[in-house]
Amino acid sequence: MSQAAPRAKAGAGVQRRSEITRARILQVSQQLFSQNGYDATGVAEICAAAAVSKGAFYHHFPSKQAVFMTLLEGWLAALDEQMLPLLEGARSVAEGIQQAASITGLVFASASGQLPMFLEFWRESSHDPLVWQATIAPYRRYQELFASLVRKGIEEGSLRPVDPNSAARTIVALAFGLILQGVIDPHGADWGEVTQNGIRLFMEGLSK
Amino acid sequence: MSQAAPRAKAGAGVQRRSEITRARILQVSQQLFSQNGYDATGVAEICAAAAVSKGAFYHHFPSKQAVFMTLLEGWLAALDEQMLPLLEGARSVAEGIQQAASITGLVFASASGQLPMFLEFWRESSHDPLVWQATIAPYRRYQELFASLVRKGIEEGSLRPVDPNSAARTIVALAFGLILQGVIDPHGADWGEVTQNGIRLFMEGLSK
DNA sequence: ATTTAAATACCGACCGGTCGGTCTATTTTT
DNA sequence: AAAAATAGACCGACCGGTCGGTATTTAAAT
């Protein structure tokens, strides 16, 4: 449709057309994957929803799976961006973990529409080695991060001498379990609040 | 059906042929669903693995989804059978929850091969109303059961006065999260032990 | 006990439709 | 005019499910 617009030198921020297309494909894919699942979402469906031809789709992505992987990587990167500074910059161990929990609450509020993607990622990762690799690495990183945090707390004397690895895995389990429940039963509770309470309870068992 | 079974006096346990076939379809389906996922597993594949024709398959089940639902119901029934007596028969609140945790450990040990089905169930339930209904009902039952247990503990004075619903959801989250981790990273830890430790930690935060 | 009849279990070719992906042609951008 | 981006017709594989027919088991009749 061309739309004249000779140029709009606006220069700044003008995404190249192709970038817009690419972004639209990603956004629409995320929505559809969340809504109907990965397998159930067809490439044609994505194209229709993104108002893009199949040719354009395959120009930007080599496969449907590649779209999925891109989404996954973006998801993990965003998580890191929010999570890591909080944990690493925490003054005390308890504070760090508590703050991480509050982030989880935020995740519930903001990303509730895309939460089902979490399930898609995990399910896919148990079948697809490529997805597994992308999922497991950050997962282990978080686990070790929590473990070292607990270890530090024990050394400092603020935490009871528990097994740091078990504790870390338990914390991760808590987070995953809450997300899982949030996915299936979004209106069953104020999940942000439940998270806060749960972590607090847990931390009280952990503290001296 | 009488079955007198004049011959093959072996009598005991002789399943009718059709029952054997049906059972084989179910067993093979469970394995394949676990291994490759629900969508990725074709009916033809199931038939081949079960050494059964497609006609036989559709003689015993109206659809692929029906097989899935049957599997789900069986799974839940087995869970109930193990879980409910423990919780209802517990002498103290803490003991009940602790015992439930030990069952979880047992689940890990025995059903490790079928654990991925857990993910299939949950993912499917967020897309299919029928599966959702079958999943959500027992899930809520457990949640309320834990909540009432906590409530009782508070009344008895053995637990601190926390919000019973939050606590119950947290316990469920713990269980789900541990299973989830067990699915993806089966060899990452002794999940039975982690479960025990985690629950103990949590209970210490909960106790007075 | 034997035969007959009915019911059940099973078989596998087949069908309409969908899917992910390819290819050639056209338009837009540089 | 060359290159990048987009369009959409097209392809073969495959999928869940159907259907007409066959084999086996069970019950009834003799």
Best to test chain A binding among B31, B39, B121, B126 (most A CBs inside 10 Å): B126
pLDDT at site B5: 32
Place of tokens 């029906």: B66
Residue B207 gets the label, from left (phi > 0), alpha (psi -120 to 50) or beta, of beta
- Point out which residues pair with B207 in neighbouring strands: B159
Place of tokens 């899982």: A180
Q: Quick check: A201 and B162 CB within 8 A?
A: yes
What the block records as the tokens of A194 is: 């439940």
pLDDT digits (tens, 9 = 90+) for A80-95: 888 888 888 878 888 8
- Protein chain A, residues 44-73, with a C-beta closer than 7 Å to any atom of nucleic acid strand D: 51-56, 58-60
Contacts of B185 in chain A (CB under 8 A): 136, 139-140
pLDDT at site A199: 87
Task: Find the nucleotide nearest B57 (Cα to C1′).
Answer: C10
Task: Find the nucleotide nearest B19 (Cα to C1′).
Answer: C9
Q: Quick check: B120 and A123 CB within 8 A?
A: yes
Q: Closest partner residue to A119 among B122, B140, B178, by Cβ? A: B122
Helical (H) or strand (E) element with A117? helix A115-125
DSSP state of A208: -
pLDDT band at B199 (very low <50, low <70, confident <90, very high): confident
Q: Which residue type, as a one-letter code, is found at position B98?
A: Q
pLDDT at site A14: 52
Task: Find the nucleotide nearest A64 (Cα to C1′).
Answer: C20
In Å, what is the CA distance from B3 to each residue of A206, B11, B17, B24? 62, 9, 12, 22
Task: Find the nucleotide nearest A19 (Cα to C1′).
Answer: D5
Q: Where is average pLDDT lowest: A150-164, A171-185, B10-24, B168-182? A: B10-24
B103 vs A189, higher pLDDT: A189
User: Which sign does the torsion angle of CA B147, B192, B115, A167 carry?
Assistant: positive
pLDDT at site A13: 44
Give the gap in angstroms from C-alpha A88 to the nearest C-alpha of chain B.
Answer: 24
Give the distance, in angstroms, between the CA of residue B187 and the centroid of all CA atoms in the same chain: 20
Give the gap in angstroms from C-alpha A143 to the nearest C-alpha of chain B.
Answer: 11
Q: Is 90 exceeded by the pLDDT of residue B203? A: no
Q: Which residues of chain A have pLDDT under 50?
A: 1-13
pLDDT digits (tens, 9 = 90+) for B44-79: 999 999 999 999 999 999 999 999 999 999 988 988
CA separation for the pair A203, B205 (Å, rounded): 7
Look at residues A29, A93, A92, A94 and name the one whose alpha carbon lies nearest to residue A65: A29
pLDDT at site A97: 83
CA separation for the pair B104, B3 (Å, rounded): 41
Average per-residue pLDDT for chain B? 85
pLDDT digits (tens, 9 = 90+) for B147-159: 999 999 999 888 8
pLDDT at site A15: 67
Q: Closest partner residue to B198 among A122, A170, A180, by Cβ? A: A170
Whole-number distance in Å between B55 CA and C15 C1': 15
Instruction: Judge whether B183 and B116 are in contact, CB under 8 Å.
Output: yes
Instruction: Provide CB contacts within 8 A for B124, sequence distance 6+.
Output: B38, B68, B131
pLDDT at site A45: 97
For the beta carbon of residue A61, count every other beta carbon within 10 angstroms.
20
Give yes or no for B98 touching A (CB within 8 A): no
A15 touches strand D (CB under 7 A): no
pLDDT digits (tens, 9 = 90+) for B104-115: 777 776 677 788
pLDDT at site A83: 86
Give the gap in angstroms from C-alpha A94 to the nearest C-alpha of chain B.
Answer: 14
Which phi and psi angles does A159 have, rounded to 5°?
A: -115, 155
Instruction: Judge whether A144 and B141 are in contact, CB under 8 Å.
Output: no
| CA end-to-end span of chain B | 60
Whole-number distance in Å between A30 CA and D7 C1': 23
CA separation for the pair A58, A62 (Å, rounded): 6
Q: Quick check: A178 and B173 CB within 8 A?
A: yes
Residue of B nearest to A38 (CA): B39
